Amino acid sequence: MLKFANQPHAPSWYAATANDATRHPVLQGTIDADVCVIGAGLTGVSTALNLAERGYRVALLEASKVGWAASGRNGGQLIGGFACGIDTFGQFMNESEVKQIWAMGLETLDIVKSRVAKHRIDCALTEGYFTAANKARDVDDLKQWRDEAAQRFGYDRFRYVDGDGVRQYVQSERYPGGLYDPDSGHLHPLNYTLGLARAAREAGVQIFEDSAVTNLRDEPGGHTIETAQGKVRAKFVVLACNTHLGTLAPELARKIMPVGTYVIATEPLGKERMAALMPAQAAVCDSRFVLDYFRPAPDTRLLWGGKVSYSTFEPRNLGEAMRSDMLKTFPQLADVKVDYAWGGFVDITMNRAPHFGRLSPTVYFAQGFSGHGVNTTGLAGTLIAEAIHGQAARFDLFGKIRHRDFPGGAALRTPALVLAMAWYRMKDLL
C-alpha cells in the first residue's frame, strides 16, 4: 500500500476544529464518469466542483481523506498573485499576456471569496494581509512593488507603512516597514477544503476516500483508473496529487520538489492580548525567501508557520523549535504554551511558477503552487474545467512557462535543493 494512503488527518489545530466529519466510501467495483479527478486537496475538489457545475459526471478519488495533505495543513494565508515574481511570466509571454496573468492573480482572491459566500463555507475568512520587511533593502523592494502594481497594472490598493504604522499589524520591533494588502487575507484551510467538497457532493461529484490510485491505463475511447478495490472508466483524467504524485507520472514529479514546512498553534491568548499583538487581525508573512508566516486564529491562538526541511523528516522537538522562532518576533509571548505542532510538504517548482498542463489531450494536471496554493488552486480548478469544456486559452497561457526538472531524479533532488536553499538563506542574512 502507498505510504500516504488510508491515513487519518494530521493532529493539527485544523483537524481539532474541523466542522464537517463526513466520511466518503472506498471505491469498490467499476464506475463510469466523464472525468476522474485524482487527489482531493484544494486543486482536486475545486476542479471537480467546477466540472460538475458545467454538467460533467465526476469521480474524485482520494488516497486518504479530503484535505489530508497540504490543503488541510497549511498556514491559511490567502495571498493574491503567484509565488514567483511577475517578471518570471515576462520571460515567456508578451506584456499583454503578462497583464492577463496579473488579472488572474487577482481573480484567485475573487474565486475563493465567492465560493465561500456562495456555499456558505464556515472557514473564518478574514481580509487583510501584511508583508513585513526584514531589512531596509526589503523596504525599497516593497515600495517598488507597490509602484509597479499601480503604474503597470493599475492596482493601487497596496499601502506602505513604517514606524508605528507597522505595530498596527505586528506588535514587534523586528520589522522596519511593510506593505498592507486589503484584498488578501486568511482562512481555516481544512474547513475551506471540506466546504468545497460538500459543495462538490451537492453538485453531484462522487467522492471516494481511502482509494489511492495505483495505476492509469489508456484504453480505446478513454482511461481506466485503478485502485485496490475498484476502477473508474473516464474520458478525462485530472492529476491533482501535488507532492504525492510519485510513480503515477514521474515526468511531472521531477518538476517539483517536496519541501517540509511547519506550523504551530499556541494556547488561546485571550481577546485583549491577541488584539494587542496583531491589532488589525491581518495575516503576516515576512519578506525573506525562507520566511515566517503567522496569523491570529478566531479562538485567539497565534498560528505561527515557518522553517523548511529538505529531508522527509520532521525537525526534532518541532513545537519547541518553532516556538523559539516565534519568540524572535514576539518575545512578549515567552510564557505562552504551544498546543499543536504539525507540518506538510509544499510543492516547489524550480522557478516557483505554477505548473499546469496536459500529459495528453485528455490527461490534465496542476501542481507546483510553490507555497501559494490557498488562492491559486481555485484558479487551477476553474481553468481546467474551462479547458475540458473547450475554452483552453487561459489554461494554455500557463503552458507557455518552461519548467525545468530538478536534477538527479528523486534521490538527488534533495541535495540539489539544499544547496539552492543554502544560497537563498545566506542572501536572507546579508
Ligand X SMILES: Cc1cc2nc3c(=O)[nH]c(=O)nc-3n(C[C@H](O)[C@H](O)[C@H](O)COP(=O)(O)OP(=O)(O)OC[C@H]3O[C@@H](n4cnc5c(N)ncnc54)[C@H](O)[C@@H]3O)c2cc1C
* Binding window for ligand X (CB under 6 A); candidates: 175-183, 194-202, 374-382, 393-401: 374-382
Q: Is 108 in the site for ligand X (CB under 6 A)?
A: no
Q: Is 296 in the site for ligand X (CB under 6 A)?
A: no
Q: Is 345 in the site for ligand X (CB under 6 A)?
A: yes
Separation CA 230–CA 137 (nearest Å): 56
Residue placing its CB nearer to ligand X in the complex, 107 or 162: 107
CA atoms within 13 A on the CB side of 225: 31
DSSP H stretches of helix in 11-58: 13-16, 42-53
Q: Is 187 in the site for ligand X (CB under 6 A)?
A: no
Number of neighbours of residue 150 by Cβ within 10 angstroms: 13
Q: By C-alpha distance, which of 325, 344, 327, 345 is closest to 336?
A: 327
Range 297-326, binding ligand X (CB under 6 A):
305
The number of helix segments (H) and strand segments (E) in the chain equals: 13, 17
Q: Is 105 in the site for ligand X (CB under 6 A)?
A: no
CB of 323 to ligand X, least distance (A): 16
* Binding test (CB under 6 A) with ligand X, winner from 213, 257, 297, 303: 213
Residues 362 and 223 sit within 8 Å (Cβ to Cβ): yes
CB of 10 to ligand X, least distance (A): 10
CB of 344 to ligand X, least distance (A): 3
Residue placing its CB nearer to ligand X in the complex, 41 or 177: 41
Only one residue has cell 515600495, namely: 143
Residue placing its CB nearer to ligand X in the complex, 98 or 213: 213
Q: Is 374 in the site for ligand X (CB under 6 A)?
A: yes
* Binding test (CB under 6 A) with ligand X, winner from 236, 369, 398, 406: 369
Instruction: Please tell me the count of residues contacting ligand X according to CB under 6 A.
Output: 45
Q: Is 240 helix (H, G, I), strand (E, B) or coil?
A: coil
Separation CA 326–CA 322 (nearest Å): 6
The one-letter amino acid code at 236 reads F
Q: Which three cell numbers stand for residue 258?
A: 517536496
What letter does residue 22 receive in the DSSP assignment?
-
Q: Is 349 in the site for ligand X (CB under 6 A)?
A: no
Separation CA 359–CA 345 (nearest Å): 23
What letter does residue 119 receive in the DSSP assignment?
T
* Binding window for ligand X (CB under 6 A); candidates: 56-64, 159-167, 216-224, 325-333: 56-64
* Binding test (CB under 6 A) with ligand X, winner from 12, 261, 287, 349: 261
- Contacts with ligand X, residue ranges (CB under 6 A): 4, 38-44, 61-64, 68-71, 73-77, 79, 212-213, 240-242, 244-245, 248, 261, 263, 293, 305, 343-346, 369, 371-375, 377
